[in-house]
Amino acid sequence: MSVIEPAELRKALGRFATGVTVITTVDAEGRKYGVTANSYNSVSLDPPLILWSLARTAGSMRAFAACETFAVHILGAHQEDLAKRFAVRGDDKFAGIVTREGLGGAPLFDDCLAHLECRVENRFEGGDHVIFLGRVISFEACDHDPLLFHLGRFARVGADGPARQEPA
* pLDDT reported for residue 17: 87
Mean per-residue pLDDT, 60-77: 96
Its CATH class, for the domain covering 6-152, is: mainly beta
Average pLDDT value over all residues in the chain: 90
Read off the pLDDT of each residue in 153-158 and give the average, rounded to a whole number: 81
Output the pLDDT for position 167: 35
Interval 92-118 mean pLDDT: 96
pTM of structure: 0.89
| Mean pLDDT of the region 128-143 | 96
- Whether the per-residue pLDDT at 84 is higher than 60: the answer is yes
Query: In the chain, where are the structural domains located?
Result: 6-152
CA distances from 108 to 25, 44, 72, 116, 159 (A): 9, 23, 9, 9, 27
Predicted confidence at residue 111, as pLDDT, reads: 94
List pLDDT tens digits, range 11-53. Answer: 888 888 899 999 999 999 999 999 999 899 999 999 999 999 9
Q: Say whether pLDDT at 166 is over 50.
A: no
Residue pair 140/102 in contact by the 8 Å Cβ criterion: no
